[in-house]
Amino acid sequence: MERVAILGSGMAGWGAAHRLHQEGVPSITYDKNGYYGGHTASFKHASGFIFDEGPHVSFTKHERLQKLFAQSVHEKYEVIHARPNNYWKGHWIKHPAICNLSGLPTDLVVNCLCDFIGAQHDQENHIEHKPIDNYADWLIASYGRTFAETFPMEYGFKYHTTTADNMSTSWLGPRLYRAKLEEVLVGALSPETPDVHYVDYVRYPSYDGFVSYLSLLPEQTQINLRHQLVRLDPAAKELHFANGVVAGYDAVISSVPLTELVPMIAGAPPDVVAAARKLAYTSCVMVNLGINRSDLSQGQWTYFYDRDICFTRLSFPHMFSPHTVPPGCGSIQAEVYFSQKYMPMKGSPEDYVAPVVADLKRCGVLREDDKILHTNVHVSHYAQIIFDLERADALATVHAYLDDIGVAYCGRYGDWLYIWTDEAFISGENAAQKALERMRVGKSA
Ligand SMILES: Cc1cc2nc3c(=O)[nH]c(=O)nc-3n(C[C@H](O)[C@H](O)[C@H](O)COP(=O)(O)OP(=O)(O)OC[C@H]3O[C@@H](n4cnc5c(N)ncnc54)[C@H](O)[C@@H]3O)c2cc1C
């Protein structure tokens, strides 16, 4: 019997285990944490509030995954009509902002419209003032300079911790709405606009947080928790863990962040280690608050553009499922971003509680008479992948090396992509398929 090792028990690890399970191939999954789920873990606090590691809802449009997730929670899930919104200098703006400019200062709206019309004209007539070399160029060509500089570039700086001219566009996909002129004009003239956001309906487990979607994982693989990989020896086909365990493997599938995995590989060439070091990512301090009322927000999540507001995004988990909070209560998860490469964190994560609460009051989400019933801080060392201009070459070097030594990589931090849970799951399935094929070739050789 082949020994197949999966490193990491998040969505990608589950995707890999699921694919192997379908083939009747047993696997062992190792995770450094004392719980499974990785980024999709949920934490139930004694106060009665549940917070996920970061705000998570399922956006998936894949029917196969919708069914699998539904089966995992015995069909008990919420279907939520997504109504994200934006906050900019005291204005609450429906999402996406480009289609909802009415109510903003007149000179700003006029400049946004003039620039947007100019940009559309140039696009339609194939007039290129400057080649699109980076995300900033793309934003200006798509939306016009005023909107680009006031909204997405400001948000992007808070979210990615670097400037748009230092980023590529390869991560965009459907993420930024490509508005039509009519939609922009209607939104500038009227407060009533149709919903055009690509995320329309999202799902969330009714009970016990997002991690419930992974409840089938322990049935599909043997999970060894508290096993932190510290060394991978591709020649000996051995995995060494911090707890002293050494395990052999015939195939290994890894969702461990590449920046950590590569330096752990025995004999990794210096140029590959140097390439892995160039890969940039953000870290996120999540400030989780439980409040004694539920009418905290119109939208389930809000994007914040102002640099003097410390958080980048707020989510309201009680609006994902009312069972994440005690009756009548509400909850807020604030995300504050940093990165080792571009914006190192100052002080300790706990230092962000007071500024978050102060900014929540400043923008009117919290009132002076609100009671904060729960506070905790959670840090995701790996949050978003930064698509800076060094990423593509460095990643190609790292992936080519892993292919060479037969380590199948997957997931957000193995593929090093800006992917969601469903895409991470599929990435794990694909990596398992690759490992299966490699084992079959090895057997027949
Ligand atoms: C703030 C935030 C909000 C998000 N919101 C959404 C959302 O609303 N919807 C959505 O679909 N997606 C969302 N995502 C993306 C989603 O979290 C990821 O796509 C997905 O969870 C990635 O899964 P993964 O298995 O690839 O990685 P992970 O979940 O990170 O799994 C990797 C695993 O490897 C383990 N590991 C790491 N190092 C070692 C080691 N040395 N030894 C052993 N184990 C190790 C970790 O403990 C972890 O369990 C969000 C992400 C963030 C950061």
217: left (phi over 0), alpha (psi -120 to 50) or beta: alpha
pLDDT at 36: 98
What is d(CA 398, CA 415) in angstroms, rounded to the nearest whole number? 10
Positions of E strands within 50-139: 50-52, 77-81, 85-88, 91-94
Output the pLDDT for position 174. Answer: 65
The per-residue pLDDT for range 385-438, each reduced to its tens digit, is 999 999 999 999 999 999 999 999 999 999 999 999 999 999 999 999 999 998
Q: Quick one: average pLDDT of 285-292?
A: 98
Instruction: Return the pLDDT at 445.
Output: 62
Q: Residue 255 gets which letter from DSSP? A: -
Could you tell me if 300 and 365 lie in one domain? yes
- Residue 101's pLDDT is 97
Task: Give dist(CA 8, CA 267) in Å, integer.
Answer: 22
Instruction: Tell me how far apart the alpha carbons of residues 333 and 54 are, in angstroms, rounded to a whole number.
Output: 8
| Residue 311 and residue 167 share a domain | no
Beta strands of 358-400 (E only): which ranges?
Answer: 372-380
Question: Using CA atoms, how far apart are residues 106 and 372, in angstroms rounded to an integer?
Answer: 38
Alpha helix segments (H runs only) across 151-180: 152-160
| Residue at 158 is within a domain | yes
Distance, in Å, from the CA atom of 428 to the CA atom of 386, rounded to the nearest integer, reads 21
Is the shortest distance between the CB of 39 and ligand 1 below 6 Å?
yes
Q: Are residues 337 and 263 in the same domain?
A: no
Contacts of 151 (CB under 8 A, 6+ apart): 86, 88, 97, 98, 305
Q: Is the pLDDT of residue 177 over 70?
A: yes
CATH number, position 414: 3.50.50.60
Percent of the chain predicted with pLDDT > 70:
98
Give the closest residue (by CA) to ligand 1 atom 6: 56
Asked which of 128-132, 235-239, 261-265, 339-343 is least confident by mean pLDDT, the reply is: 128-132
Give domain status of residue 64, yes or no.
no
Asked if the model's pLDDT at residue 173 lies above 80, the reply is: no
**Tell me, what DSSP letter sits at residue 384?**
P
What is the rounded distance in angstroms from the CA atom of residue 435 to the CA atom of residue 253? Answer: 7
Q: Same domain, yes or no, for 90 and 179? A: yes
Return mean pLDDT, the chain: 95
d(CA 78, CA 131): 45
Same-domain pairing of 182 and 227: no
Q: What percent of the chain has pLDDT over 90?
A: 90
Residue 14 gets which letter from DSSP?
H
Q: What is the pTM of this model?
A: 0.96
Q: pLDDT tens, 43-95?
A: 999 999 999 999 999 999 999 999 999 999 999 999 999 999 999 999 999 99
Judgement on whether residues 274 and 402 belong to the same structural domain of the protein: yes
For the cut 70, the answer to whether the pLDDT of residue 140 exceeds it is: yes
Name the token pair of 100: 């909802």
Is the pLDDT score of 367 beyond 70? yes
Question: Is residue 419 situated within a structural domain?
Answer: yes
Least confident span in 282-291, 385-394, 436-445: 436-445
- Strands, sheet with 246-248, edge to edge from the N-terminal-most edge strand: 229-233, 238-241, 246-248
Ligand 1 nearest-atom number relative to CA 284: 1
Q: Which domain holds residue 103?
A: 85-189
Is residue 150 assigned to a domain? yes
**Is 346 a domain residue?**
yes
Mark whether 111 and 156 lie in a shared domain: yes
State the Rg of the chain over Cα: 23
The answer to whether the CB of 9 is under 6 A from ligand 1 is yes
Cα dihedral sign for 85, 89, 91, 97? Answer: negative
CA-nearest of 373, 232, 367 to 295 is: 367
Count of residues in the chain: 445
205 touches ligand 1 (CB under 6 Å):
no
Ligand 1 centroid from CA 41, angstroms: 9
Q: What is the pLDDT of residues 102-136, one digit of tens each?
A: 999 999 999 999 999 999 998 888 888 888 899 99
Q: How far is the CA of 378 from the centre of ligand 1 (A)?
A: 14
13 Cα nearest atom in ligand 1: 25
Checking if the pLDDT of 294 tops 90, the result is: yes
Per DSSP, 345 falls in state P
Q: Which residue's C-alpha comes closest to atom 32 of ligand 1? A: 8
Q: Residue 195: is its pLDDT beyond 80?
A: yes
Q: Which residue from 221, 420, 422, 427 has its CB within 8 A of the most atoms of ligand 1, so it is best to mutate?
A: 420
Q: Whose CA is nearest to atom 27 of ligand 1?
A: 10
Find the DSSP H helices in 213-255.
217-220
Domain end call among 133, 159, 189: 189
Q: Which of 349, 380, 411 is the last residue of a domain?
A: 380
- Alpha carbon distance 118, 65 (integer Å): 42
User: Among 194-203, 313-322, 378-387, which stretch is predicted with the lowest mean pLDDT?
Assistant: 194-203
Q: Which residues pair with 78 in a beta bridge?
A: 204
- Let me know whether 274 and 404 are in one domain: yes
pLDDT at res. 206: 98
Going by pLDDT thresholds of 50, 70 and 90, the confidence category of residue 2 is confident
